[in-house]
Chains A and B, each alone.
Chain A
Amino acid sequence: MTTETFGAGLKDRDVPAMLRGDTTFTSDLRLPGMLHMEFVRSEHGHARIDGIDTAEAREMPGVVTVVTGEDLAGKLMPMPCIWIPGGVESHFPPHPYGVPGAGPVLAEGVVRFIGEPVAAVVAETAEQARAAARKVAVAYTPLAAVTTPRQALAEGAPQLHDAVPGNLNALWTCGDAERTDAAIAEAEVVVELDLYNQRTINNPMEPRAAVGDYDPVKDEYTLYATTQSPHNHRFLLSALVLGIPFNKLRVIAPPIGGSFGTKGYLYPDMPLVLFLARTLGRPVRWADTREGLMRSTVQGRDHLQHVTLAGTRDGRITALRCTSYANLGAYPSTIGPGVATALMGRSVTGPYAIPNAFCEVHAVFTNTVPLGAQRGSGRAEATTITERVLDLYAKEIGADPAEVRLRNMVPPDRFPYENGLGWTYDSGDYAAALRRALELADYSKLEVLRREARERGKLLGVGIGSFVAICGVGPSTRMQAEGMLGGTWESANIRVHPNGEVAATIGSTSTGQSHTTTFAQIVASELGIDPSAVTIFQADTQKAPYGQGTYGSRSYSVGGPALALAARQVIAKMRTAAAHFLGVPEDQVEYADGTFSVPGREGASKTFQDMAMALWYGWSLPPGMEPTLDVTTFFDPPDFNYPYGSHLAVVEIDETTGELEIVRYVAVHDVGPIGNPLVVNGQFEGSIAHGLGQALMERARYDETGALLTADLTTYAMPRAHDIPRFVMDTTETPSPHNPLGVKGAGEIATVPVTAAVANAVCDALREAGVRHLDMPYTPEKIWRAIREAKG
């Protein structure tokens, strides 16, 4: 790199348009002649469909058509699932092409969750479609429902899918059970804990939307949709759902209003708007409502866990065993089963060197919305259970929780470190990050604060959340072993225009992470030019070469290196040509700040622009060199990357009301070199707030019939400005050896330890009131009840 652009806190170039209201999201698109689609969703958690009467709906003003599952038979294939638990048998009816299945586009005969689409109505206006959808009469016979894994696995439980006896999708394991059990059996101290990591709803501010367009002259489809993975969705939709040639489908992701994992999934609206656009000969738009989102967009977390930690009296952890029941919901979501198993299970040893570890995950179908990713998914659930039981262990042996952590963390000289569950940590100084957090929190003085709080009638609690989070998904062959159907490399293309401007195209898609700015910084740094000369193109399958998408904190740490490698090839080609023009051997040409020069030869130089123009003309190039600068690269990392850090929360609880206040929140992260601190700090702050939402207030609740009791924002709480404290943040920097930039994932990792830190702080505060453990979310009512119950 030749300029300081990488690492500068440049302002996000897309923000001015957002501030003016000029950013066109998918739901803002208006195509000529566009029709509007509305779903009729199941009103039951589990029911047989006895009949669907669409006659009245068809007579409603403006209605163009109504389709049901029967109408799609033989026209649309079922949805595929592309990440099943690896290495174990996974149960669900396969897709007709033999790949794992994920259920029908519209319900066929049975509905299995409260928001499952049963029919779709298309009308001239959105209001007409909504009104007509209410007139579709669906006759149901309600069936007994199960909403928790425990219920679903019980003998004689209602069955969701004939092909899945006992509702068990998979029993997935990692680690060494025998050794771990032996270590537990002979341990000096054994601590156990049951914890429910509650179901959450991601709730990006923009509900999902899709617009389908069809050109009958060219027989070409265009899908505009809120998708994190346009290329991957293009492949899956064309080949596996619509059954049309890959070449006939273009997928465009307009600016996306937040995602946090939810928009990387295939949803029924995507194939449906395309199918209807072709059959009706007009563009078809669908835009979800908040209620629709909450009833149908993938939900997060939902692990019921039991953990056993064994250790010595003097604070050395010797074994960890975790059993988790993951609530997959009614169908396998596109990548949900893999998220719920591998991402959680392999992560439960956290940043600690634990010699014996084992984890099993029972992935179970229930009559709830399908499970998917939520910011920090899998890793947050693992971190919460491990950090909670570690605190109980520290209390058990009368040790300082921070000291126990520092004692057990993987030391810097043991990298690469195999955690015994399948991850190989890349690099880090985990203890240094924790020490920095303790320092920033003034940890040694917190006992004074505790006494002061007590004098004011408040219970003060301190909680630490230390973590390491697998990111940068991932090496393709490794992900194959994990059960993923698809490559996980990333691609980039750089074209240098004759005047020296640069067009860089990436395969990933921003959902609010400022890609057009941060990726331009990588290119500009590598090329030694001003970032204003670089334009980033993304999110359009016709513009970008290929790509896998934005998930698992992979865009910057897998796509970024692809871009850097492309830029390096550009400079290499320019250098060869410059040496040729300057008449010197190539190794005598230096490149810095936009100029190729020959040390010791005054005036012998060529600028970046000179070379751009020279290669554009193609005159007198070195023998065999092709004209122009147009480089495409693919980066498939040798392994994942593992950002890490430590959070520390200090809470005060009012014993009489149960009200909780976060009085101090410290967060230290290590994501390797930071390309743009303004953007990355924004990711950290937003991630912490997201974690606080789960810790303090968020929970998706179902009743025993599978009705979602929290299907709007009046019943599902999300943090508002006054709920979020200020954060004290710092970073350490340890590059990852697994990519040429040394960068590690940063988009979601700060969510990972939040629930752990807050849960530990709350339980620390409540210890004095006689409460050993309390599950999230920590609402005043829940805390108040726990205190009352503990006091008897």
Chain B
Amino acid sequence: MRITLTVNGDRVEQDVPPNVLLVDLLRDTCELTGAKVGCDTGQCGTCVVRLGDRSVKSCQMLAVQADGAEVTTVEGLSGDGELTPLQEALWEEHGAQCGFCVPGMVMSLTDLLERDSAPDEQAIRAGIAGNLCRCTGYGAVVRAVQKAVKDKS
């Protein structure tokens, strides 16, 4: 099927078999390997991207379902290598260790902060309930979001 979508502001027009997952289209065709494949069942959250105004696990969607949509991956979050305030806070608080869950974590947290500009700790933890991290124990991630919120206010 021929689909047209916007990925990080660039128009992508592509013939894709109907069984190709959005995450594979992003990784293999668009060569955007920020989104990862960490599980086979939609549990880990390493593939989270933004689709229009919501965040989705891109392994749980077919590429054809994204026809006409605007997709933002972690690579498209900020221009010219700049970090967003959230990303800066994650760096300062050591909210990333191995880095494999980080793109999905960043996308979920970005989504959370757009919906709730001052989430409390419980809301932060709930906001990343779909993102597994085996390295940090989540504490530094929570502190980073709190820092980003505090710095903004």
Chain A interface residues toward B at CB < 8 A: 11-12, 14-25, 27-28, 30, 125, 127, 202-207, 255-260, 287, 289-291, 511-514, 678-679, 681-682, 685-690, 712-714, 718-722, 724, 726-727
- Contacts known (A290-B41, A514-B97); A722 close to B91, Cβ less than 8 A: no
A75 to B40, CA, bound (A): 33
In contact, B36 and A19 (Cβ under 8 angstroms):
no
In contact, A688 and B137 (Cβ under 8 angstroms):
yes
A residues in contact with B106, CB < 8 Å? 19, 21
B residues in contact with A289, CB < 8 Å? 37, 39-40
A518 to B38, CA, bound (A): 27
B residues in contact with A690, CB < 8 Å? 134, 137
Shortest B136–chain A CB gap in Å is 5
**Which of B24, B44, B98, B129 is close to A721, meaning CB atoms less than 8 Å apart?**
B129
A11 to B83, CA, bound (A): 14
Q: What per-residue 1/0 map shows which CB atoms of B69-82 lie under 8 Å from chain A?
A: 00001110110010
Shortest A748–chain B CB gap in Å is 12
In contact, B94 and A205 (Cβ under 8 angstroms):
no
Interface centre among A21, A257, A287 (most CB of B within 10 A): A21
Known A712-B41, A720-B128; 12 more pairs at CB < 8 Å = A16-B83, A20-B87, A21-B35, A127-B20, A257-B98, A257-B101, A258-B97, A258-B100, A290-B40, A713-B39, A721-B124, A721-B133
B residues in contact with A203, CB < 8 Å? 134
In contact, B41 and A713 (Cβ under 8 angstroms):
yes
B residues in contact with A259, CB < 8 Å? 98
A14 to B98, CA, bound (A): 9
In contact, B44 and A205 (Cβ under 8 angstroms):
yes
A residues in contact with B87, CB < 8 Å? 16, 19-20
Chain B interface residues toward A at CB < 8 A: 19-20, 24, 27-28, 31-41, 43-44, 46, 73-75, 77-78, 81, 83, 87, 90-92, 94, 96-103, 106, 122, 124-126, 128-129, 131-142
Shortest B35–chain A CB gap in Å is 7
Closest to B98 in A: A512
In contact, A205 and B38 (Cβ under 8 angstroms):
yes
B residues in contact with A726, CB < 8 Å? 139
B residues in contact with A204, CB < 8 Å? 98, 100, 134
9 closest cross-chain pairs (CB), A and B: A21-B34, A257-B100, A512-B98, A689-B137, A18-B99, A713-B43, A21-B74, A28-B33, A290-B39
- Contacts known (A19-B106, A512-B135); A25 close to B36, Cβ less than 8 A: yes
In contact, B137 and A686 (Cβ under 8 angstroms):
yes
In contact, A206 and B98 (Cβ under 8 angstroms):
yes
In contact, A27 and B37 (Cβ under 8 angstroms):
yes
In contact, A682 and B33 (Cβ under 8 angstroms):
no
B residues in contact with A28, CB < 8 Å? 27, 33
**Which of B27, B134, B141 is close to A258, meaning CB atoms less than 8 Å apart?**
B134
**Which of A16, A290, A511, A721 is close to B38, meaning CB atoms less than 8 Å apart?**
A290
Interface centre among A678, A679, A686 (most CB of B within 10 A): A686
B residues in contact with A679, CB < 8 Å? 94
**Which of B78, B97, B139 is close to A724, meaning CB atoms less than 8 Å apart?**
B139
In contact, B35 and A11 (Cβ under 8 angstroms):
no
21 A-B pairs (CB sep. < 8 Å): A18-B96, A21-B35, A21-B73, A21-B74, A21-B102, A205-B133, A206-B38, A255-B99, A258-B100, A259-B98, A514-B94, A682-B94, A682-B135, A682-B136, A685-B136, A712-B39, A713-B132, A720-B132, A721-B126, A721-B133, A726-B139
B residues in contact with A21, CB < 8 Å? 32-35, 73-75, 102-103, 106
A205 to B99, CA, bound (A): 9
A residues in contact with B103, CB < 8 Å? 18, 21
- Contacts known (A20-B83, A724-B138, A726-B139); A257 close to B41, Cβ less than 8 A: no
B residues in contact with A685, CB < 8 Å? 136-137, 139-140
A-B contact count (CB 8 A): 182
B residues in contact with A20, CB < 8 Å? 34, 74-75, 77-78, 81, 83, 87
In contact, B132 and A205 (Cβ under 8 angstroms):
yes
**Which of B38, B101, B136 is close to A207, meaning CB atoms less than 8 Å apart?**
B38
**Which of A17, A202, A258, A720 is close to B98, meaning CB atoms less than 8 Å apart?**
A258
Closest to B132 in A: A718
A511 to B44, CA, bound (A): 19
Closest to B32 in A: A21
A residues in contact with B139, CB < 8 Å? 685, 724, 726-727
A557 to B139, CA, bound (A): 26
A682 to B132, CA, bound (A): 16
Closest to A720 in B: B129
**Which of A125, A207, A258, A287 is close to B135, meaning CB atoms less than 8 Å apart?**
A258
A259 to B87, CA, bound (A): 24
B residues in contact with A30, CB < 8 Å? 31
Closest to A726 in B: B139
In contact, A257 and B99 (Cβ under 8 angstroms):
yes
Shortest B106–chain A CB gap in Å is 6
Closest to A690 in B: B134
In contact, B140 and A206 (Cβ under 8 angstroms):
no
A291 to B44, CA, bound (A): 13
Closest to A715 in B: B41
In contact, A290 and B44 (Cβ under 8 angstroms):
yes
A255 to B96, CA, bound (A): 13
In contact, A18 and B102 (Cβ under 8 angstroms):
yes
Closest to A712 in B: B41
Closest to A511 in B: B98
Shortest B138–chain A CB gap in Å is 4
- Contacts known (A20-B75, A21-B74, A721-B141); A686 close to B99, Cβ less than 8 A: no
A686 to B142, CA, bound (A): 13
A291 to B140, CA, bound (A): 29
Shortest B131–chain A CB gap in Å is 8
In contact, B140 and A682 (Cβ under 8 angstroms):
yes
In contact, B99 and A512 (Cβ under 8 angstroms):
yes
Shortest A677–chain B CB gap in Å is 10
A residues in contact with B37, CB < 8 Å? 27, 287, 289
Closest to B139 in A: A685
Interface centre among B24, B38, B44, B101 (most CB of A within 10 A): B38
In contact, A19 and B38 (Cβ under 8 angstroms):
no
In contact, A15 and B90 (Cβ under 8 angstroms):
yes
Closest to B91 in A: A15
Closest to B141 in A: A721
Shortest B21–chain A CB gap in Å is 10
- Contacts known (A205-B44, A685-B139); A22 close to B39, Cβ less than 8 A: no
Interface centre among A512, A514, A678 (most CB of B within 10 A): A512
Shortest A426–chain B CB gap in Å is 27
- Contacts known (A21-B35, A203-B134, A722-B126); A712 close to B98, Cβ less than 8 A: no
